[in-house]
A and B are shown apart, each in its own frame.
Chain A
Amino acid sequence: MCLATPGRIVAISRAEGAPEAGSDLRDHDLWRCALVDFGGVRQQVSLACLPEARLGDQVLVHVGLALCLVAAP
């Protein structure tokens, strides 16, 4: 259940179906998401918990939510 998969962010966008962006920055984070590449398989992932994530970052993803940046070994 707690297994998570590392992948690389290839695009950042606002979630589909999200309401119009307001001025509230916290709200902006709620809908921020990314296309993440898992060794060739790409999936849409929420960045709600990783406001600092940027393009090219390696992130650890669990049930569609990026949980942390993975430090380079």
Chain B
Amino acid sequence: MTDSAASTRFLNGPTVSRAAVMEVCGGQTHTILRWGLDQRLPAGMALIHGPGCPVCVTPLPILEAAIALARCPEVILCSYGDMLRVPVPLQGDPQERSIDLLSLRAAGADVRLITQPLQALQLALEHRQRQVVLLAVGFETTAPATALVAMQRQALELSNLHLLVAHVRVVPAMASLLARGESRLDALLAPGHVCSVIGLTEVEQLAQRYARPVVVAGFTPTSLEQALHLSSRMLERGDHGVRNAYREVVHPNGNPRAQALLAEVFEPIDLAWRGLGLIEGGGLALKGAYAEADVRRSLDRGATAAAIAPLRRLGCALETSTEAPGASLCRATEVLQGRCLPSDCPAFAGRCRPEHPLGAPMVSEEGACAAWMHYRHTR
């Protein structure tokens, strides 16, 4: 390599030969592609995009139940913007058509876009005669806010607020990817904001168990660059363990109060992630007295009882075989597992675009396909 070529890389002359590093979080994927960090890696190092996009991995039965609930006149369904745009295949439709919550809203359903879960609580207070359903997704970063809603709901005895929970846990998913070994991962970048909640203990156990370097990374280009630098150093030396490249935010103990909220309201469950299959301890479910807020219990009556029927398929390992609409084309599953790049998909930028997505990774602002569309697609 010439000197000028070397200077375009931020790490000169590392001796790692063929190292695959996965950035787990979709927000980090976007920063990496936007700033072209993947083009400035040490020779031999490649980045693999991980499944850290809650919208992308939300199981289909949850989305089907959300669609069916939104069709009930007494229901106000609320969730985050990206969730409202995920296409859900219409069962048994020969033309493989799909529907999403936003188009249901256009057809008259009461679907609300929220930016924080406490807005659902406000809606339930303002509309006592209606049934407010919060479709709650997200990793451990987002789950404490849902836990807070569940606790406030109980304190206020708000029986018209219901939770459709699809929260997921990131470390079990990382463990699952390492255990499968389908795509050989030499190092991982851990999502900084999840770690700001859960701390480093769980990540440390993962790094020890699989003998890999894991670097906790932030979301700015400099923070990610530093994290990549650290991981290449660790790979070079053959080290494993955890390094924290996001100290201004991530405390080794995380946020104990947020952890207490999670422990109070949720319990880990095995969950079949969309695209990844069953992940042991990969999801969170409401527990104890808070389970009364779960739509499976609180809406298992009257007109809404049929709407929640798809949820019975949750936890079924075979669930992921029913995939996105146009499944024959869409390779979202492989993209989520880091087994192919978005541009390898035959539907990418053709049949599948952000305006009419086939798979969830094209929908979400954090999906790898959307990131490639934004920053790598030139035509």
> Which residues does A use to contact B, with CB under 8 Å?
1-4, 15, 17, 19, 27, 29-31, 46, 48-51, 60, 62-65, 67-68, 70-71, 73
Contact = CB atoms under 8 A, between A and B. Distances in A.
B249 interface: yes
A51 to B, nearest CB: 6
Contacts of B251: 68
A19 B156 contact: yes
A51 B46 CA distance: 42
A73 to B, nearest CB: 6
Contacts of B122: 17
Contact of B148 (A27, A65, A71): A65
A1 B54 contact: yes
Contacts of A70: 248-249
Nearest to A58: B248
Interface of B: 25-27, 52-55, 80, 82, 115-119, 122, 125, 137-139, 141-142, 144-145, 148, 151-152, 155-156, 191, 193-194, 196-197, 219, 247-251, 255, 257-258, 261, 364, 366
Contacts of A62: 141-142, 145, 193
Nearest to B148: A48
Nearest to A44: B118
A17 B138 CA distance: 26
Contact of B261 (A17, A49, A60): A49
B355 to A, nearest CB: 21
A29 B142 CA distance: 18
B138 A2 contact: yes
Contacts of B142: 1-2, 62-63
B138 to A, nearest CB: 5
B156 A67 contact: no
Given A29-B257, A49-B261, A1 B116 contact: no
B26 A1 contact: yes
Chain A interface main SS type: loop
21 contacts: A1-B26, A1-B27, A1-B141, A1-B142, A2-B52, A2-B138, A15-B152, A19-B156, A27-B155, A46-B118, A49-B144, A49-B261, A60-B249, A63-B116, A63-B117, A63-B138, A63-B145, A67-B141, A68-B196, A70-B249, A71-B247
B304 to A, nearest CB: 26
A17 B121 CA distance: 10
Contacts of A73: 248
Given A49-B257, A63-B115, A64-B116, A2 B249 contact: no
A30 to B, nearest CB: 6
A2 B116 CA distance: 12
Contacts of B366: 1-2
B257 A30 contact: no
Contacts of B139: 1-2
A30 B152 contact: yes
A70 B220 CA distance: 15
A48 to B, nearest CB: 5
A49 B152 contact: no
Contact of A48 (B193, B196, B261): B261
A60 B196 CA distance: 10
Contacts of B197: 67
A41 to B, nearest CB: 12
Contacts of B145: 46, 62-65
Contacts of A19: 155-156
Given A19-B155, A30-B148, 15 more contacts: A1-B54, A1-B364, A2-B52, A2-B142, A2-B194, A31-B152, A46-B145, A51-B257, A62-B141, A62-B145, A63-B138, A63-B142, A64-B119, A67-B144, A71-B248
B203 to A, nearest CB: 15
Contacts of A4: 141, 193, 196
Nearest to A6: B249
